[in-house]
Chains A and B, each alone.
Chain A
């Protein structure tokens, strides 16, 4: 078996993983990143909109500051975030954007003079200042008081990731792609590296490292319908949970986007509704005004997703071979508007659906989009539970998003957290030495080897991996989707426990040789079901509604009892996660107040007389 030694092992080569890697490599340490796919295919490349930083360069961003950004972020989190971390993030975001500019990102820049823009379908005029010419400009995004989202046309994630990877190449960071981490090597106290399967040859490898970082992105693929890449299946979270000592934070906080297209769940922008698009049901009736007479389609992401789901539950969805959906109607906006202001949507419709949105309705449904939960870390990015283990990016619960992430804050998080956590990793590497007990390393690898043998020889059963996965999808979608309630969640948890047992009895139908995809899924699936159980069990226990977590039977946000973060650990062999709680924040720069969207009652932390 091949064994690799390195100072820092980054599991994940998206923006977060590579940003941390660069910090350590620049300090002279040896760094290896692992990735399921070539680094540049990581999901970070798919983000089009942009990333937030209070630069205040453009006209509509005038007067912006990290303070205003901080307030938006805390409100957006529905007071579920760690305010110390949110502060750290907002203060450092401008530095991170400027650094990216120095490294080569072709940010769009301020062009002085008058120009027009749309808001709520109406035309307005603005004037950019001469003295700001050539500085990084910004666009508007939901939930921000100022225009703050830096961008490069409609390819922000792409250009930023390519620049980051260029920098990694320059500094000699090794990226081993087409590999998958299967488990962490640890002794219950120290993390020492990972057991990894090569997805080109199917062989196992061992990586030994003084510091290990989990930066594997979101876990959207435990849901059937997700805007996430097909590789976002929570691999990093699974190996953390499987240590039995590293907790995952707030797994029940899952964000849904109203308009994923059917069948492939590719995202079409909120801009469609912003510019006047409407949602129709199977009778081509516009239903949003029935539920939200004032804001209709322009209510917040979470609210619209909830009503869409409710409406489909009333039997008013459009049936299709891929399940029920609704229609998005932007025909009335006209060809010119579509070809200029909604170019990306126009292309998605033509490329993936083969329809013309100026003439046809677009099939859409609410779709899983972002996971606020992840490996719980402190403000330095150090995971709870094991020494030498760090985490950053969407895989981490650092926790500046709380229960609802603002658009443009997650891409920024990857580089800002990467910068901050990277510096802490460097400190750690300077101070700590480790030794690798050979027996422990051998056992960790043997355990994975044994799993592979048993799957191929059908030693534990003959369950079909795809059937079991579909049962997980059904249970989650039904019980722990957009709307949640005690009864459905209980059923969901129970079903998922049965699915978990079946997931441990999978037998392969193919021969499992080489880069076999059935084997890869079979190795991952039991862990995915455990993640699903953390989501469902966490949601069942949390008897309140906060941010994206909406309980029909507990519609109020309950600051009295639930101003806490869920911490889920999994004892080896246990049927369910163990849940503990910690206060969401040690610091309260802004005390809990109105969230400013979606309405709903609040039970205050200190009940007033």
Chain B
């Protein structure tokens, strides 16, 4: 106990004409049950009130606090300092637009992703307030929930080689989102509809399958299985597409 921790933190404020990218060092005494949430707030309050970083729920639920901790993308609120060495390096997530220091803009990217995969249940049924709800198998509901646990933290995209090379890549989070609708019996899209969205290099065929995404996902989503499933289904849809009598 009572270690002194040395934090090396990336600094850059794009809105400040005199700011240049550099690293600042802060030293802090470690306390019991300290997390990066506590440490960063103490640094801001005691040493540098201008330090930018994002936390929201501080409970591993909202995805706001993703950053690169000693080289690895993860959630800062649920990183305990006792699991880290005395020297801690913090960098903003790559890939997303930098707001300042450790803060990045994930909102714009994820909103755009939702529009691209048309992330809603496609149906022509009108909701009838007087009718009972449509029945659903509980096991199916639970399966959908398993995929819907993504918190849009951006770790998977930040760790993805394809995403770094092609900014229009949907990323594991986008492909997983689509898989959630493929699974949902309420969504009436056909395989061809899904193929139009992800059957290309920005989608499933851009993925190299190296699975950095699944390794870093703080929610342990089964990204590998979803990518495999989509690749398989889209492969089929692609072949069907080549057969003229199957084409719609």
Contact = CB atoms under 8 A, between A and B. Distances in A.
A516 B100 CA distance: 9
A264 B38 contact: yes
A109 interface: yes
Contact of B133 (A136, A351, A513): A136
Contacts of B14: 514
Interface stretch (B113-121, B158-166, B199-207): B113-121
B193 to A, nearest CB: 15
Nearest to A465: B49
Nearest to A92: B129
Q: Interface majority SS on B: helix, strand, loop or mixed?
A: loop
A230 interface: yes
B136 interface: yes
Interface stretch (A152-160, A245-253, A307-315): A152-160
A109 B119 CA distance: 23
A509 interface: yes
B184 A104 contact: yes
A331 interface: no
Interface in B55-77: 55-64, 77
Contacts of A135: 132-133, 135
Contacts of B119: 166, 169
Contacts of B114: 165-166, 169
A106 B144 contact: yes
A162 B113 CA distance: 13
A111 B141 CA distance: 12
A353 B34 CA distance: 8
Contacts of B105: 178, 200
Interface stretch (B20-28, B78-86, B222-230, B233-241): B78-86
Nearest to B60: A351
Interface in A135-168: 135-137, 152-153, 155, 158-159, 162, 165-167
A363 B59 CA distance: 16
Given A38-B107, A136-B133, A169 B49 contact: no
A263 B36 CA distance: 12
Which one of A106, A109, A348 has the greatest number of beta carbons of chain B within 10 Å? A106
A608 B15 CA distance: 70
A604 B59 CA distance: 44
Contacts of B141: 106-109, 152
A104 B120 contact: yes
Contacts of B60: 351-352
Contact of B121 (A38, A104, A199, A201): A104
Nearest to A513: B16
B190 interface: no
Given A111-B138, A135-B135, A511 B16 contact: yes
Interface in A215-230: 229-230
A101 B134 contact: yes
A111 B140 CA distance: 12
Contacts of B152: 38, 40-41
B100 A321 contact: no
Contacts of A321: 31-32
Contacts of A109: 135-138, 141
Contacts of A152: 141, 145
Contacts of B127: 98-99, 102-103
A265 B59 CA distance: 9
B176 interface: no
Contact of B99 (A153, A178, A508): A178
A510 B145 CA distance: 44
B23 to A, nearest CB: 18
Interface string A109-153: 111000000000000000000000111110000000000000011
B15 A514 contact: yes
B178 to A, nearest CB: 12
A98 B32 contact: no
Contacts of B196: none
B111 to A, nearest CB: 7
B48 interface: yes
Nearest to A469: B45
Contacts of A508: 49
Interface in A476-519: 508-518
A97 interface: yes
Given A169-B111, A178-B99, A230-B58, A153 B49 contact: no
A97 B33 contact: no
B184 to A, nearest CB: 7
B110 interface: yes
B50 interface: yes
B143 to A, nearest CB: 8
Nearest to A167: B120
A320 interface: yes
Interface string B82-103: 1100000000000000011001
A466 to B, nearest CB: 5
Contact of A106 (B62, B80, B83, B142): B142
A279 B160 CA distance: 46
A358 interface: no
A102 B130 CA distance: 13
A264 B148 contact: no
Contacts of B35: 264, 352
B99 A517 contact: no
A510 B14 CA distance: 15
A262 B34 CA distance: 10
Given A109-B137, A111-B138, A134-B135, A518 B58 contact: no
Given A134-B135, A134-B138, A515-B100, A266 B149 contact: no
B8 interface: no
A314 B54 CA distance: 38
A513 B17 CA distance: 9
A136 B138 CA distance: 9
Contacts of A106: 136, 140-142, 144-145, 148, 184
Given A134-B137, A352-B33, A178 B129 contact: no
B186 interface: yes
Contacts of B19: 513
10 contacts: A37-B107, A106-B184, A158-B151, A263-B31, A263-B34, A351-B78, A352-B35, A352-B78, A466-B45, A517-B49
Interface of A: 37-41, 43, 45-46, 95, 97-99, 101-104, 106-111, 133-137, 152-153, 155, 158-159, 162, 165-167, 169-170, 175, 177-178, 199-202, 229-231, 262-264, 266-267, 320-322, 348, 351-354, 363, 465-466, 508-518
Top 3 closest A-B pairs, CB basis? A514-B15, A134-B135, A510-B50
